[in-house]
Copies of this chain bind each other. A is one copy, B any other.
Amino acid sequence: MILAFDFGGTKNTCALFTRNEQGAFHMENIARRASPPNPDYAYDYATMLELAHAVLRGRAPQAIGVSFGGPVRASEGLVVLSHHVAGWENVLLCEQLEREFQTHVVMDNDANVAALGETKFGAGRGCASVFYITVSTGVGGGWILNGEIYRGANELAGEIGHVVMDPNGPPCVCGRRGCVEQLACGPAIARTARAQLEKNPARGEILRGLLENDLAQVTARRVNQAARAGDELAREVMDNAARALGFALGNVICLMNPQRIILGGGVSNAGEQYFETVRAAARANVMPELREAVDIVPAALGDDAPLWGALALVT
């Protein structure tokens, strides 16, 4: 009986995994709660205890795996901070949970945990090396190499979002320009679409219709929806974002030759044309020997990847 926590910033989730008759784990019970505006550490922690007790119903877990949405020092069980929730600075979360539940606790950041979850239970099953990328509000990534999480010297490996593709590109929160994040993430797609709509008043009819002509309402989801419905402007914006990401992934493949790349986050639902454009751009940007090695697929576990990964951390 394994408890899995996902401290997600805007929502907290807890799942209880138990073994079925064949010995395989299944998710017996899950409890999720969206956070109110401006949650803090005390809220997150108290909420998670509540959710845990709701799924445990009096039983004791054998171990706890934790996914945390922010930088952590996994080896120390320490949360460095949360970018979304105040008060998480330097919390020794594993120690705290070990006292609370009298059992073994392992934690890692959400990208690493989701990478592990997809590799063990999702779109990367059977792969020794996987790069998991989440493309939504931001762009992050996690590595599974030689079958285990690879964290890097400062536990900062996987920051594909801040690999620079175009030193003259749009400015990034990190202080540089043309980072992958600024070319490929959801807000970048929305921003580009809006700029294109403003510049081309005669184009983008389907997208304008979806937005009821209120350009401030544009989101990546709407742009993709319009693209799939045949809107050419929206299709160009989606294609450019997919090409930028694919080009970056070609470089990743040259450098690391992972067995598979898994795209999670919002774009995992973007549809086959988006994925084909990403793959084509990656294939065009690898050495000929690596063209056949381009294997880029959507994530399979959706929002549950961190929970399955948290399970994998302790089993």
Contacts and interface: CB of A to CB of B under 8 A. Distances in A.
A60 to B, nearest CB: 33
Interface stretch (A41-49, A93-101, A143-151, A212-220): A143-151
A86 interface: no
Copy total for this chain: 2
Interface in A202-229: none
A158 interface: yes
Interface stretch (A25-33, A191-199, A250-258): A250-258
A258 B159 contact: no
Interface string A247-271: 1001110111111100000000000
B290 A156 contact: yes
Contacts of A175: 288
A154 interface: yes
Interface in A145-171: 145-146, 148, 150-160, 162-164, 167
Interface of A: 127-129, 141, 143, 145-146, 148, 150-160, 162-164, 167, 174-176, 247, 250-252, 254-260, 285-290, 293
Given A145-B146, A154-B293, A255-B255, 19 more contacts: A129-B150, A143-B256, A145-B150, A146-B148, A150-B256, A153-B258, A154-B257, A155-B257, A156-B287, A156-B289, A156-B293, A158-B257, A159-B287, A163-B251, A163-B254, A164-B247, A164-B251, A167-B247, A175-B288
